[in-house]
Structure 1
Amino acid sequence: MDSTPRPDCGAIITYLNPDALDPTAFLRGVVIGAYVVDPETSHAWVPVLLPDRTLSVLDTRNIIEVQASDGP
């Protein structure tokens, strides 16, 4: 059973920073699309818009909190 979150588009997520050298341990972003599953690892990945307006594709196993979108 896979217990990793698969947030919907528009959800605000808090996740563990994958950059171990960055002093900020947790980051936030907004999911901007549907998740995709890597066929080799079975990990789900989501596109995330970060506060500095850069785009990241994030392994959902790093997500620690999901806040659902307020909009439709």
Structure 2
Amino acid sequence: MTPSWRKPAGAFAIVALIIIWCVAVASLSRIVGEWPVLIQLVFYVFTGIVWILPLKPLLLWMETGRWRVPKD
């Protein structure tokens, strides 16, 4: 069985996604730092969860080569 090139490419994409997301959120820290603490908490919890959403199709592509589950 020959290893697929999609797994290393997908792993690289996941790392790139995390780095880009961290830079984007961190660039807003000066603005967010002026908000009330509870609003900051909501913002950081939300942004800490949202980056996971693109992972499902990416992981599916890494395993199957398709971006969506085929409809039967």
Q: TM range, normalised to the smaller chain?
A: under 0.3
TM-score computed with the length of structure 2 as normaliser: 0.20
TM-score computed with the length of structure 1 as normaliser: 0.20
Larger-gyration structure (1/2):
2
